[in-house]
Amino acid sequence: MTSSADEVKVGVLLDRLARGEPGVLGALFDVYRSRLRNEVAGELAADPRLAARFDASDVVQEVFIDARQQVDWFLASGGRVDFWIWLRGLARERRLKFLRDHLDAQCRTAKRQRELPDESAYHPAAPGDSPSAAAGAAEETERLARALQRLDVDDREVIRLRVTEGRTNPEAASLLGLTPAAVAKRLERALNRLRVAANRTGDTDP
């Protein structure tokens, strides 16, 4: 939480920003930097796919770059969007971009696993896994990853929170700014779209 002094400081800086002093954006961002970093760190820690690949400080720095690039949009909102809510939205978009990059890398890895050279027969197989089972698992991983990429950001996010992270509807609702009932409906629609996308991906595979 920000202190009363910080709230006064934010109000003054927002007025200066609205009057055309873009240089104060850095000072505004600094008020929330620690809070944003803690929130990003918590989100990364909850997603093992990202925790080992990205540091919260790096994400926060990327968010600041995004904020500088999109500050005109924030100003155009005329105060209808809270500055902290805007920063959280930018952090969410940045995290989703990192997740997409991770899934792309996962797809490429799965593809390389399916395209082993002839001498792959000399490499030991994973214990308990037959070559056909390993190939099938890799194909399924790639198919689902490609299907997820066909969904929009909101669909991917609700699937990540509810399915991947195992959060409850109320927990996901607090993160997405929705009601638990709305989260449940969005998840149902997202899973249906994922199923359709996965089927289409399978149909178009060579």
pLDDT computed for residue 203 by the predictor: 53
The predicted model scores a pTM of 0.48
* Residues 79, 5 share a domain: yes
Helical packing angle, 56-76 and 25-45, nearest 10°: 130
Within a domain: residue 127? Answer: no
pLDDT computed for residue 135 by the predictor: 53
* Residues 91, 34 share a domain: yes
* Residues 93, 163 share a domain: no
* Residues 181, 90 share a domain: no
pLDDT computed for residue 30 by the predictor: 92
Query: Where in the sequence is the domain holding 82, given as residue range(s)?
Result: 1-115
Within a domain: residue 41? Answer: yes
Please give the span between the terminal C-alpha atoms of the chain, in angstroms, as a whole number.
53
* Residues 110, 24 share a domain: yes
Taking the chain (206 residues) in runs of 10, the rounded mean pLDDT of each run is 73 89 87 90 75 79 89 83 87 78 54 44 45 57 78 85 80 80 90 85 53
pLDDT computed for residue 97 by the predictor: 77
Backbone angles phi, psi at 47, to 5 degrees: -120, 95
User: Tell me, what CATH number does 37's domain have?
Assistant: 1.10.1740.10
> What residues contact residue 84 under an 8 Å CB cut-off, 6+ apart?
2, 32, 35
* Residues 156, 111 share a domain: no
Within a domain: residue 91? Answer: yes
